Amino acid sequence: MRGTEDCSDFMNSSKFCMDEVCFEGVSGENIQKLKTLNQVIFPINYPERVYNDILACGEISQIAHLRGKVVGGISCRLENTPEGPILYIITLGVLAPYRNLGLGSKLLDTCLDTIRTCLPEVGRARLHVQVSNEDAIRFYLKHGFVILETVRNYYIKVKPRDAVLLESKLN
């Protein structure tokens, strides 16, 4: 985990004291924190194989800490496609009391900047969002993603089952 002296460049929000927010790459030592966060935020219980994919992605996936508490995270995997490798964002979530304060944007920016720097061959980022999650769809559109399509019956255990597929070009 970064020391607080290294974190001031990550937060510019006046809602936080800059030295209180840190981002930590997901690893075997802290994957349980991400699992717990995801269980609190999302209606989907992700299987162990998903967390293995996240670990295989290295420090591209991040956990946000504020005042010693895990308050958000982004988890990703790399996928090979006929068009080349892509970054698939599995989850991006911030605990409700900390939303709309810039943490989600910083998590996304940190992740995408890391990909651009460390894996420039990855040309696109993709993710699915439940069609009813208008706030998340607006968030991603604001960050340069575009809607590619609506995928019918994408989700099995949550309603509505449909999702929008969003994509952002990274290069």
Cis peptide upstream of residue 47 (ω within 30 degrees of 0) = no
Q: Are 15 and 101 in contact (CB under 8 A)?
A: yes
Ramachandran quadrant class, 100 (left: phi over 0; alpha: psi -120 to 50; beta: rest): left
12: which DSSP letter?
A: -
Hey, which residues are catalytic here?
A: 88, 128
> Please, how many CA atoms are within 13 Å of residue 23, restricted to the half-sphere of its CB?
24
Neighbours of 84 (CB within 10 A): 10
Q: Cα torsion at 20, 100, 52, 164 (round to 10°)? A: -170
